[in-house]
Structure 1
Amino acid sequence: MAPYFGNKAQFKMLLTVFVVAIAISWESIPCAIAARELSVGGGSYGEEAMKARHKTWMAKHGRTYRDEAEKARRFEVFKANANFVHRSNADGSRKYRLATNRFADMTGDEFMAMRTGFKPLSSSLFGASKLPGFKYENFTLSEDYQQAVDWRQQGAVTDVKDQGTCGCCWAFSAVAAVEGINQITTGQLLSLSEQQLLDCSTSTDGCQGGNMDNAFQYIISNGGITTEDSYPYTAVEGTCQSDSVQAAVTIRGFQDVPADETSLAMAVANQPVSVGIDASSQSFHMYSGGVMTADACGTNVNHAVTVVGYGTADDGTPYWLLKNQWGINWGIGGYMLLERGTNACGVALHASYPTA
């Protein structure tokens, strides 16, 4: 017996629903295929989607390769980094976010060799101008100081710089600290010369690494440091030109901060401070926002940055405000928020500051 429909209106309505259902199912097939291609293997991107992503990334960052072999090798590195970023961001427990930034086709070893360069001192500097004690040991962190400090808002921090492929992070960290104390003391913010330290501070290893205390000692012994404009950065070691430039800023000495975060806060409340940190983790390289937590890095200090403040995130997580020198396209415009109170990345282990 033929199926019974009460009237033609009912039949037309059912037929319409049937046709729409088929259309929706058919249109969803490409979406399902795309979704499978985009996310396979527990959060990884499919090969073709990843190749398209790499091509877009290359165009965005102006990246070219010398031949197809290098392109293929760099693609594999990019793929591994991109999948790591995807899995990390998909983890709802993270307080920080990662991104496939301009370093996404570099291995960890390559990145460390070219973008870090801190070397702890093996012994005390003989005859150095390191001052005894800790000048801020009796400083009281008032309620305002306990909550937040940001030396950028006080005009004591220059624009974010880029050390390039020279491992002289130590020079940038030291210069940023000197720029800060000079502005606090004189009211004048000057961008100073990292290249002068790179070329002339003979107690360091230049692009192969160095230490901020040695940089401070050179500035004192030399009678000061000149400006960036007078002695511009080239990212390679050259012949010292100190005799042909005039010192713009001088310091009297420097001190190390006791290796605890309370002492570090006392120092940062008064001036920007040079610190060494462990920047070897993949999360550190790909960082793009939020608060980097202690579980994302170790305490094998190998990179130098400058602490220019501290505060508390919206979720209540206390943080240090770090000025890095990997350009404005890394992190939060060149800055990182690093968890405070856990000695994350060894931030309190090697801290020092110049005295005006």
Structure 2
Amino acid sequence: MASLLIGSNPLIRMALLLLTIVTMTERISFVVEARDLSTPGYGEEAMKVRHEKWMAEHGRTYKDEAEKARRFEVFKANVDFIHRSNAAGDKKYTLGLNKFADITRDEFTAMYTGFKPVQAGPKKLLGFKYENITLSDDNQEVDWRQKGAVTGIKNQGQCGCCWAFSAVAAIEGLYQITSGQLASLSEQQLLDCSTNGNNNGCSGGVMNDAFQYIVDNGGITTEEAYPYTEQQGMCQSVQPAVTISGYQNVPAEDENALAAAVANQPVSVGVDASDFHLYQQGIMTADGCGENINHAVTAIGYGRADDGTQYWLLKNQWGETWGEGGYMRLQRGVGACGIGKQSSYPVA
């Protein structure tokens, strides 16, 4: 009887038809959203739509149509690389379309790194103060963020002064540990004023020469007093806010020694970041990068994942939209990405 009533009532038939159309539309929409548009062969027009959406999300503009066309080709290549890497299903990390998705690996390395490893100068403090430290069960996981010794993620922009950000983050951590106060310190002061030795502003440098400048200068000022401008300028005379007595190197290629240091304070470290630009989350493993260190970050902790993989917790300075909110987890204990080759820390 019910089926007869439905079949003979045009209003009911119309309502059922509309319900079917709405349901199908929602289903199609869901499938399109769920489908990875990076799948090879998805289509040129769909990829252009995705590129436009990505441009809007990241505020990206181009000088002309020729530049846009060239960047679109790079974008497509990166999308394909991301898809193939993630689809393999054999990695502990995933890649994603971050703000660097329309530049090549080589362009990225040239624009966003800047560490130039050299031997330490003659003025560093002798020895390694954590030489006799044995990590206990209580030291199997360290995260200096939880102890209030890490300032927020910063952004070096297209200036190769990662060395300045790494040195500052290490000093910020040490100052909080020794004084109980967290202060954001000035990378710009190092960029403008630490020009002796191997530091060349946006063209690269080393943390140890930055530490030595701070020793010789009698300290470093705050970010507020000397804000970052993303380019080298004239050195300004400012009142120091934080001082250090010197710095020490961590024994090279000894991750146990590095862990002993990181258990006691954030440490400046060099890494090979050539393959970091599309990193999104997870533990970057040794097979995902090289060992020719070209970038400086700050080791602010370490831990162990649920599957037993040990990792370093690294603070970067490419903004919060890169990686895990600006941070990276890097495989520990296997020399991944050259970590441990050149590391150092300030001494109060």
TM-score (norm 1): 0.86
Shift of 1:117: 0.1
Match in the other structure for 2:6: none
Tell me which residue corresponds to 1:217.
212
Gaps of 5+ in 1: 1-22
Counterpart Cα distance in 2 of 1:275 and 1:106:
25
**SS of match in other structure, 1:321:** strand
For residues 8-44 of structure 1, what are the alpha-carbon distances to aligned partners after superposition, in whole Å with 9 as ceiling and x for unaligned? xxxxxxxxxxxxxxx9xxx8xx97xx98xx7899846
Matched, 1:153 2:134: no
Deviation track 1:270-306 (CA, whole Å, cap 9, x = no partner) reads 000000000012xx11111010000000110000000
Report if the CA contact (8 A) 1:45-1:83 is conserved.
Answer: no
Residue number in structure 2 paired with 1:231: 226
**Aligned equivalent of 2:187:** 194
8 A Cα contact 1:97 1:289, kept in partner: yes
**Maintained 8 Å contact 1:279/1:303:** yes
Mapped contact 1:44–1:87 kept (Cα < 8 A): no
- Cα deviation for residue 144 of structure 1 reads 1.2
Identify the residue that residue 155 of structure 2 maps to in structure 1: 162
Q: Report if the CA contact (8 A) 2:248-2:344 is conserved.
A: yes
Aligned length in residues: 321
Matched with 1:296 is: 288
Q: Percent identity?
A: 68
Task: Provide the C-alpha distance between the structure 2 equivalents of 1:321 and 1:292, rounded to a whole number of angstroms.
Answer: 11
Instruction: Note the C-alpha offset of 1:264.
Output: 0.4
The answer to whether the 8 A contact 2:74-2:102 is kept is: yes
**Residues 92-127 of structure 1: CA distance to partner in whole angstroms, max 9, x if unpaired?**
111001111011011122211211000011x4414x
Question: Residue 125 of structure 2 corresponds to which residue in structure 1?
Answer: 131
Instruction: Tell me the residue number matched to 1:3.
Output: none
* Residues 339/230 of structure 1: CA separation in 2 closer, same or farther (3 Å cut): same
Deviation readout 1:239-263 (Å, 9 max, x if unpaired):
000x2x1100000010000121000
Distance verdict in 2 for CA 1:81–1:44, change over 3 Å:
farther
The residue aligned with 1:262 is: 256
Q: Distance in 2 between matches of 1:44 and 1:107?
A: 21
Measured in 1, the distance between the counterparts of 2:289 and 2:163 equals 19
Q: 2:246 maps to which residue?
A: 253
Q: 1:155·1:189 contact (CA, 8 Å) conserved in 2?
A: yes
State the distance in 2 between where 1:78 and 1:172 align: 29
What CA distance in whole angstroms lies between the structure 2 residues aligned with 1:39 and 1:325? Answer: 29
CA contact (8 A) 2:248 2:345 kept: yes
| Structure 1 counterpart of 2:221, one-letter code | T
- Deviation, 1:194, is 0.2
Q: Secondary structure at the match of 2:91?
A: coil
Q: Which amino acid aligns with 2:298?
A: T
Are the equivalent residues in 2 in contact too, given 1:168–1:206 (CA < 8 A)?
yes
Q: Say which of 70, 94, 112 aligns to 1:115.
A: 112
The partner residue of 2:310 within 304, 318, 335 is 318
Alpha-carbon separation, structure 1, partners of 2:268 and 2:129: 16
| Aligned residue number for residue 8 of structure 1 | none
Distance 1:329 1:39 in 2: 20
8 A Cα contact 1:173 1:274, kept in partner: yes
Equivalent residue for 1:90?
87
Q: Work out the CA distance in 2 between the residues paired with 1:70 and 1:269.
A: 47
Amino acid at match of 1:162: N
Larger-gyration structure (1/2): 1
Contact 2:38 2:79 in 1 (8 A): no
Conservation of the 8 A alpha-carbon contact between 1:272 and 1:353: yes
Equivalent position amino acid for 1:48 in 2:
E
Tell me the alpha carbon deviations over residues 197-253 of structure 1, each in whole angstroms, 9 at most, x when there is no partner: 000001211100000000000000000000000000000000000x2x110000001
Q: Structure 1: which 4+ aligned runs deviate by more than 2 Å? A: 38-46
How far apart are the structure 1 equivalents of 2:308 and 2:44? 40
- Tell me the residue number matched to 1:77: 74
Specify the alignment match of 1:353 in structure 2. 345
Match of 1:60 among 57, 61, 86: 57
Deviations 1:37-92 (A, max 9, x none): x7899846432221111011011111111111111001001111111111111111
Unaligned runs of 5+ in 2: 1-19
**SS in structure 2 of the partner of residue 285 of structure 1:** coil
Is the CA contact (8 Å cut-off) linking 1:292 and 1:339 kept in structure 2? yes
C-alpha root-mean-square deviation of aligned residues, in Å? 2.2
The one-letter code matched in structure 2 to 1:86 is H
